[in-house]
Amino acid sequence: MNNAFLTWFRTRGLFSWLALAVVLLVLFPLLLDSFRLGLVGKYMTYGFVAIGLVMLWGYGGVLSLGQGVFFGLGGYAMAMFLKLEASDPESTKIQSTPGIPDFMDWNQLTALPAWWEPFQYLPVALLGVIVVPTLLAFVIGYALFKRRVGGVYFAIITQAIALILTVLIIGQQGYTGGVNGITDLKTLLGWDIRTDSAKLVLYYVCAILLLLAILGCGWIQRSKLGTLLLAMRDKEDRVRFSGYDVAMFKTFVFCLSAMLAGIGGALFTLQVGFMSPSFVGIVPSIEMVIFAAVGGRMSLVGAVFGALLVNFGKTYFSESFPDLWLFLMAALFIGVVLAFPNGLAGLIDSHIKPWLARWRTAKAAAPMAPADPAPPPVPAAAAQPPEPSLPAHLAQEKT
Amino acid sequence: MSMTDLYNITLMQGFAGLSLFSVLLLMGLGLAIIFGQMGVINMAHGEFMAIGAYTVYLSSVLAERFVPGFVQAYFPFAILLAFMVAFAVGWLAEWALIRHLYKRPLDTLLATWGLSLGMQQVFRSTFGPKEVSPTLPDWLMGSWSPSEGLDIPINGLFVMALTLLVTGLVMLALYRSSWGLKVRATVANRPMANATGINTRRTDRVTFAIGCGIAGIAGAAFTTIGSTGPTSGSLYIVDAFLVVTFGGAASLLGTVASAFGIAQTQSITEFFLDGSMARVLTLLTVVVILMIRPQGLFAARIRK
Amino acid sequence: MSEHDPSDPISLHRRRLLQGMAVLPFTGLPGLSFGAAPPTAKVNTTGLAVTDTTVTVGQLHSATGTMAISETGSIQAEQLAIDQINAMGGVLGRQIKVIKEDGASDWPTFAEKARKLLVNDKVGTVFGCWTSASRKAVLPVFEKENGMLYYPTFYEGLEQSKNVIYTGQEATQQIIWGLDWANQTKKAKTFFLIGSDYIWPRTSNKIARKHIEQHLKGLVVGEEYYPLGHTNFNSLINKIKLRKPDCIYAVVVGGSNVSFYKQLKAAGITSAKQFLLTISVTEDELLGIGGENADGFYACMKYFQSLNNPNNAAFVKAFKAKYGPKAVIGDVTQAAYLGPWLWKAACEKAGSFDIDKIAAASPGIELKTAPEGYVKIHPNHHLWSKARIGQIQKDGQFKVVAESPSLIEPDPFPKGYQ
């Protein structure tokens, strides 16, 4: 395993991963002012969701339109802790019940609900960030994959779940803050998260965690599990007949993507300073899929770049061409799907890498290291457009 | 509270359920063809409905300005026009976009999502960001009151009648016409259909356009109930997909049954609970049933 | 790092070191404009975007997304006021330049753009936001970066900030007097409260319920909330028919309004049979609903387009000249129009564009030229204003049928209503 990891790191990951690391850790902080850097920090949290989708969708062949649910749950878990810290009796003394979050007071709650209690403690909140999304993903995934629901059906059911959670959060505003969300978060264990220096620290935390997450996912891709996922995506039945429990593997990768989304959500809350149901719903969930699609659904690093690029585009276009930016976003989606099904990373794989290889072989008359064949050993399926595991929309019931 | 009151309210509540049923069915019908039959995940379905609604609005403005005498009668023509406009746009979208993606159903989702964003901006640039509603003929408004305390909304009756008509026509076309035969053949086995001389490309295009046209009719009908804005389409999309999926994607009868089931659940829970909680409960029921029975209520029998 | 004296060599060294470690963003600190002309230096001591001839302000509304429907009127009114002020010679001798940002109906985008306006553009003030959620999202930014926001919408109250001037009514200003009127004039004793499901309707109905139960000794026979954008109200209407309230008290917002009133009419609930009071329908909403669908129902606002006074006549005339004869003006549009004028008055009273000085100067500022009549800023940064009852007419306008005798004091944290 270790050897495989090293091979992966050398042949595929090293360059692009290092490039991403340099961009995130050195280039952006040097070039951008604190405002833009804060934006990048925010976009990076979507990067977590995007790499989760690479694992789930690119490798597992399962498209979830409900990643916003997990992003939101992670974010809310974090926000609950921060809100409780911000609602000490001293700063909430104008309320009729001091010491509880302001929105609860407005909704005539007179005591902290029991399920909020554990979130007074940071370790519990951090655990919640990871466990709550993962657990929900497990319940949904296990129920659906055991019954061999896949493809479009899975997408639509997860979408419905995103809608349910949004309506629920908005409707239960005494407990959740409603449409406004949980706002006005100030400090983390007494450390003011709104200052520029705090934002810089959080930026680095976010970047490093993201890079680590990519390494982790890369390791999974190169492990036997990754191979199995690919095999499952392309010929599910054969994997099943070989004696593997397909449903469990799919559930695992769904949980993984949910966990990553949850971490992203928590970091989002920390950097932006609030959490609201507008990240849980259908639209943000689809946008998250778009990030992965633009960057390349088979490439972890590509997906992060996709998340950064789409969001940059959104911010830039909406600042510069407020009337046209929806058109440009539309063109981006359609263009990527029609022309570059493997996204930007696919573009690099199919055009730039062969060109580089040719250039290198032409130049290198001298004997090269044998372990460097011209086209890098991309996972087999990355070379061709990834067909979803189930070719027809009706195929999910086949046995 | 007298018995007649209770009786009247039960009747009206029954009608409320039926009227929601027809709304959901009309919404899902176009999608049942596009998604159920063709397998295209058309996220722009709501926007095609908005096209229909805006067509009606435009017709009403034009009728008011140029032929004021026609205002009482323009509505049926506007619905027809809505069908044609949505049909034409659907035809165009199939040609430009969808036909490249039949082999990648999940990608149609992304592409049509992009399409829906573009269409929303077109609506916004053309009609402005504010919601509009057409001037409706007087005969469509108000209520029909067969007895004291019993009021049946006329627009509800109208939508119901229209739904029955459209559903009947679609059923007839799908199961009794040569087009329907071609569609079903193409869905069942594309290469074989091709081999028997069916022009599957053409069939696809017409089918997609008809699905969009029906969405246009739905949008036109909804102007009697609500208003139309650039983003109204996105309100309908989840409901439409749930109706079709819940019914069993490939079965038109399933769509009818699921629209009925969802509408009754929603309208009854709404009567006893808060509106928001009713919505959560209804959606949750649908999702749980789908988890237990992923093929939907009516599964198509297809030999693999 | 800023606790070091910049001339201190160690600090300089450290600063350079830190820059190497990617802390460039910190160098853009304000206070470096030594070459500025004296008057500017006098009126602008905190590095805002003020030159000898211009002052830059921000405008932050949703031009796209679901809220664009509502916010367009505010955008137009603010622009009109700014044009008029510029034509009169500007503020402290400077022309107002506007940077427009689109919040896109998305709360984090609002926060992001607010930060951009304050940190990057260093605007003198911001006119913007509409929904409570967007205001809640930007409020920490305004407090942290010390900016000024003129917020136009009637809202739920429970908030007060040095950095915000609320030009719309807080909940009690709109609700209590209206309910008293319903109780006295229409003899309403039983109420059915209906709202869209978010904070403003819920808080408003909470205040309404307390007032009905404790002060009017009436009865709330139903309280219901529907998701934003909900379009099917038939079950709700049946419930209303079952409970037979004297008054339907409606706080339905946005597109749902159209469905709600169309379906009420279709179910035979018209003003001939039923008394309905709303605090969420203005002339803007009536455009979509259609006056004929809500004809005869009542709304409680502080402003109606049909208000008969010289200020309003001039305002309506100017608005229509700029945006076409079919343009309508709702309560919030008028409140948005007040923003730039109140800001101008505050700057002139303070003799400065500095945020702290404006905030300190604002209480007590009067505006005798307001279309709604006369307004005054309360020390709590809300406006004293009147409440009025309008009856919906077929043409989509209101007929003003009642008016509170005096200005109502804003009370964002009402005792006994929480």
The pLDDT confidence band at residue B56, using thresholds 50, 70 and 90, is very high
The pLDDT confidence band at residue C126, using thresholds 50, 70 and 90, is very high
Cβ of A180 within 8 Å of Cβ of C24? The answer is: no
Average pLDDT over residues A256-261: 95
The amino acid present at B133, given as its one-letter code, is S
* Residue of C17, C29, C119, C199 to mutate for A, most A C-beta atoms under 10 A: C199
Rounded distance between C-alpha atoms, residue C213 and residue C219, angstroms: 6
- Residue C23 pLDDT: 36
Residue B225: list chain C partners with CB under 8 A: 231-232, 259, 262-263
- Residue C16 pLDDT: 41
Phi, psi of B168 (to 5 degrees): -60, -45
Dihedral sign, Cα of residue A100, residue A102, residue A106, residue A107: negative
Average pLDDT over residues A256-271: 94
Rounded distance between C-alpha atoms, residue A294 and residue A65, angstroms: 16
The pLDDT confidence band at residue A51, using thresholds 50, 70 and 90, is very high
Instruction: Tell which wins on pLDDT, C99 or A233.
Output: C99
Buried/exposed B35-49: b ≥16 CB within 10 Å, e otherwise = bbbbbbbbbbbbbbb
Least Cα separation, residue C324 to chain A (angstroms): 21
- Residue B23 pLDDT: 87
- Residue at token pair 């790191």: A9
Q: Which residue of C has its CA nearest to B6?
A: C242
Phi, psi of C272 (to 5 degrees): -65, -30
Residue C144: list chain A partners with CB under 8 A: 194
Partner A contacted by C68 (CB < 8 A): no
Residue C201 near residue C190 (C-beta atoms within 8 A): no
**Chains contacting B (3 or more CB pairs within 8 Å):** A, C
pLDDT tens, position by position, C230-284:
888 888 998 898 889 999 999 998 778 888 998 898 888 889 889 999 999 999 8
> Worst-scoring range by mean pLDDT, B142-156, C45-59, C143-157, C227-241?
B142-156
Rounded distance between C-alpha atoms, residue A284 and residue A174, angstroms: 24
Buried/exposed C159-193: b ≥16 CB within 10 Å, e otherwise = bbbebbbbbbbbbbbbbbbbbebbbeeeebbebbb
Classify C247 as helix, strand or coil: strand
* Residue of A147, A159, A394, A396 to mutate for B, most B C-beta atoms under 10 A: A394
Closest partner residue to B226 among C64, C66, C258, by Cβ?
C258
Identify the structural domains of chain C with CATH numbers, from first to last: 1-27 (no CATH), 48-169+309-384 (3.40.50.2300), 171-301+386-403 (3.40.50.2300)
Q: Which residue of C has its CA nearest to A268?
A: C108
Closest partner residue to B271 among C231, C239, C287, by Cβ?
C239
Rounded distance between C-alpha atoms, residue B258 and residue B252, angstroms: 10
Return contacts of C32-39, CB within 8 angstroms, 24+ apart: C39/C93
Cβ of B231 within 8 Å of Cβ of C267? The answer is: no
Q: Which residue of B has its CA nearest to C222?
A: B274
Residue B276: list chain A partners with CB under 8 A: 167, 170-171
Average pLDDT over residues A170-192: 84
The pLDDT confidence band at residue B15, using thresholds 50, 70 and 90, is confident
Rounded distance between C-alpha atoms, residue C82 and residue C89, angstroms: 11
Cβ of C198 within 8 Å of Cβ of A170? The answer is: yes
Cβ of A274 within 8 Å of Cβ of C111? The answer is: yes
The alpha carbons of chain C give a radius of gyration, in whole angstroms, of 23
Classify A381 as helix, strand or coil: helix
Rounded distance between C-alpha atoms, residue A79 and residue A268, angstroms: 10
- Residue B272 pLDDT: 85
Rounded distance between C-alpha atoms, residue A226 and residue B237, angstroms: 35
- Residue at token pair 């409900």: A66
Instruction: Tell which wins on pLDDT, A271 or B249.
Output: A271
Instruction: Report A:247-276 residues touching C (Cβ under 8 A).
Output: 272-274, 276
pLDDT tens, position by position, C59-69:
999 887 667 77
Least Cα separation, residue B25 to chain A (angstroms): 18
- ipTM, 2 decimals? 0.84
Burial class of residue A362, CB neighbours in 10 A (0-12, 13-18, 19+):
exposed
Rounded distance between C-alpha atoms, residue B227 and residue B54, angstroms: 10
Rounded distance between C-alpha atoms, residue C329 and residue C318, angstroms: 11
Cβ of A156 within 8 Å of Cβ of B245? The answer is: yes
Average pLDDT over residues C201-225: 90
- Concatenated DSSP letters for chain B? --HHHHHHHHHHHHHHHHHHHHHHHHHHHHHIIIIIIT----TTHHHHHHHHHHHHHHHHHHHHHH-GGGTTTHHHHHHHHHHHHHHHHHHHHHHHTGGG-TT-HHHHHHHHHHHHHHHHHHHHHHH-SS-B-PPPPGGGSSEEEEETTEEEEHHHHHHHHHHHHHHHHHHHHHHHSHHHHHHHHHHH-HHHHHHTT--HHHHHHHHHHHHHHHHHHHHHHHTTTS-B-TTTHHHHHHHHHHHHHHH-TT-HHHHHHHHHHHHHHHHHHHHHS-HHHHHHHHHHHHHHHHHHSTT-SS------
Say if pTM beats, i.e. exceeds, 0.90: no
- Residue C220 pLDDT: 94
Question: Is the pLDDT at A24 greater than 60, yes or no?
Answer: yes
- Concatenated DSSP letters for A255-303? HHHHHHHHHHHHHHHHHHS-B-GGGTSHHHHHHHHHHHHHH-TT-HHHH
The alpha carbons of chain A give a radius of gyration, in whole angstroms, of 22
* Residue of C112, C256, C415 to mutate for A, most A C-beta atoms under 10 A: C112
pLDDT tens, position by position, C162-174:
999 999 998 889 8
- Residue A180 pLDDT: 83
Return contacts of A188-191, CB within 8 angstroms, 24+ apart: A188/A82, A188/A85, A188/A122, A188/A270, A189/A85, A189/A122
Q: In what order do the strands lie in the sheet with C375-377?
A: C366-367, C375-377, C383-384
Residue A315: list chain C partners with CB under 8 A: 112
Q: What is the helix (H) or strand (E) element at residue C194, kind and residue range?
A: strand C190-196
Residue C72: list chain B partners with CB under 8 A: 128-130
Instruction: Tell which wins on pLDDT, B246 or C97.
Output: C97
Rounded distance between C-alpha atoms, residue B31 and residue B50, angstroms: 14
In chain B, where the domains are located: 12-141+149-230
Q: Which residue of A has its CA nearest to B302?
A: A394
- Residue A11 pLDDT: 60
